[in-house]
Amino acid sequence: MKSIQHPLRGALAALCATAAFAASPSAFADYPDRAISLVVGYPAGGSVDLTARLFGEELAKRLGQSVVVENVGGAGGTIGAQRVARAAPDGYTLLLGSTNEMVIARMINSAVKYDSVKDFSALGVIASQPMLLAASKNSGVKTAAEYLQKLRGAAPGSFNYGSSGVGTTLHLAGEMINQSTGTRAEHVPYRGVAPLVTDLMSGQLDYGMLVLSSGLPQVRGDKIVALGVTEKKRSPVAPDLPALAETPGFESVDISVWFALYGPAGLPEPVAAKLRTALAETLKSEQFRAKMQEAGGQLAQPGLDPVAYQASETTKYGALVKAAKIEAQ
């Protein structure tokens, strides 16, 4: 009598065969053999998008395939990140992630369902750039010392600072300054940097937190006043601008926005290895370094462990969120 194979047994056999194929390094010998999508969780034109486009060009050269930047904006970068978290772990859908969606978002918003550690394969940190504390020209403040003197002599809440939204790196940089200096400038959230800059230039806003690349043109154009950058040392992009930490009272201010490459969790090691190698080679490129500096960024140190780095950043931002009692609106 002819035996009848149970359909479940057949399905299990097929699944095992697929798993065996996926586990074999030879299955990925030709990776990549088609275009790669590099997802950005923001609209075109911002610092994350610009970093993705510059990095995507370098990645394409090293992998021999097109890298297409795909802007999936919304919800502070989390929609794009969620898309990559749910993508097939085959190396063809990657994320150019930043501090907002990979560290801060889940701390302040319970609606964010992905885990930025468990649901992603961290491949490497690409670059970072400081933020800038800037003042309106109408404020009469020209230095960080004058800012501190003015706020310390005023009643709490007399002054405010703007950022691109609640829970962003810009918001938390402002809260770090408040905590470090013992002052209290009230936060004013804006829907993006453009209206913030407009109000800062017109004098409707006292102070503002900007990513360096966003604020530098207005500083150079003498439209706003740069009080200092938020990293411990001066930025090589604008060495004439002081670091806030140079001024007594701001010594503990050290914060930046960073950009890193991620794939979905479970990325096969042969694929991850190719991507890590391409990233490491890119970080050694003087041409890429020059382009990033022109865009306001500074390359990460080669060999920086992305998992350990993200863990340290999570600790830093977690303390800020808790102390400032920040929640998503």
Predicted local confidence at residue 24, as pLDDT: 53
pLDDT band at 161 (very low <50, low <70, confident <90, very high): very high
From CA 99, how far away is CA 101, in angstroms rounded? Answer: 6
Query: Of 246, 268, 299, at which residue does a domain stop?
Result: 246
**Does any domain span residue 51?**
yes
Better pLDDT: 191 or 4: 191
How many domains in the chain? 2
**Could you tell me if 94 and 264 are in contact, meaning their C-beta atoms sit under 8 angstroms apart?**
no
Dihedral of CA 68/307/300/78: which sign?
positive
From CA 92, how far away is CA 88, in angstroms rounded? Answer: 8
Shared domain check, 56 and 104: yes
On average, the pLDDT of the chain sits at 89
CATH number for position 164: 3.40.190.10
Question: 3-state SS string over the chain?
Answer: CCCCCCHHHHHHHHHHHHHHHHHCHHHHCCCCCCCEEEEECCCCCCHHHHHHHHHHHHHHHHHCCCEEEEECCCHHHHHHHHHHHHCCCCCCEEEEEEHHHHHHHHHHCCCCCCCCCCCEEEEEEEEEEEEEEEECHHHCCCCHHHHHHHHHCCCCCCCEEEECCCCCHHHHHHHHHHHHHCCCCEEEECCCHHHHHHHHHHCCCCEEEEEHHHHHHHHHCCCCEEEEECCCCCCCCCCCCCEHHHCCCCCCCCCEEEEEEEEECCCCHHHHHHHHHHHHHHHCCHHHHHHHHHCCCEECCCCCCHHHHHHHHHHHHHHHHHHHCCCCC
**Does any domain span residue 161?**
yes
Predicted local confidence at residue 328, as pLDDT: 65
**Does any domain span residue 11?**
no
Shared domain check, 146 and 89: no
pLDDT band at 26 (very low <50, low <70, confident <90, very high): low
**Does any domain span residue 251?**
no
Predicted local confidence at residue 209, as pLDDT: 96
Shared domain check, 143 and 194: yes
What mean pLDDT is predicted for residues 238-259?
Answer: 96
Shared domain check, 124 and 136: no
Instruction: Give residue-wise pLDDT tens across range 107-129.
Output: 998 899 999 999 999 999 999 99
**Does any domain span residue 64?**
yes
Dihedral of CA 213/214/218/219: which sign?
negative
What mean pLDDT is predicted for residues 226-237?
Answer: 94
Predicted local confidence at residue 25, as pLDDT: 56
From CA 98, how far away is CA 215, in angstroms rounded? Answer: 19
Shared domain check, 217 and 182: yes
Position 267 pLDDT exceeds 70: yes
Shared domain check, 238 and 156: yes
Shared domain check, 164 and 193: yes
**Does any domain span residue 13?**
no
Residue for token pair 């990460």: 300
Shared domain check, 136 and 123: no
Shared domain check, 87 and 235: no
Shared domain check, 171 and 108: no
Shared domain check, 230 and 297: no
Query: Of 246, 279, 310, at which residue does a domain stop?
Result: 246
CATH number for position 57: 3.40.190.150
What mean pLDDT is predicted for residues 170-197?
Answer: 91
From CA 211, how far away is CA 216, in angstroms rounded? Answer: 9
pLDDT band at 180 (very low <50, low <70, confident <90, very high): very high
Question: Domain of 293?
Answer: 36-128+257-324
**Does any domain span residue 3?**
no
Query: Of 246, 268, 286, at which residue does a domain stop?
Result: 246
**Does any domain span residue 302?**
yes
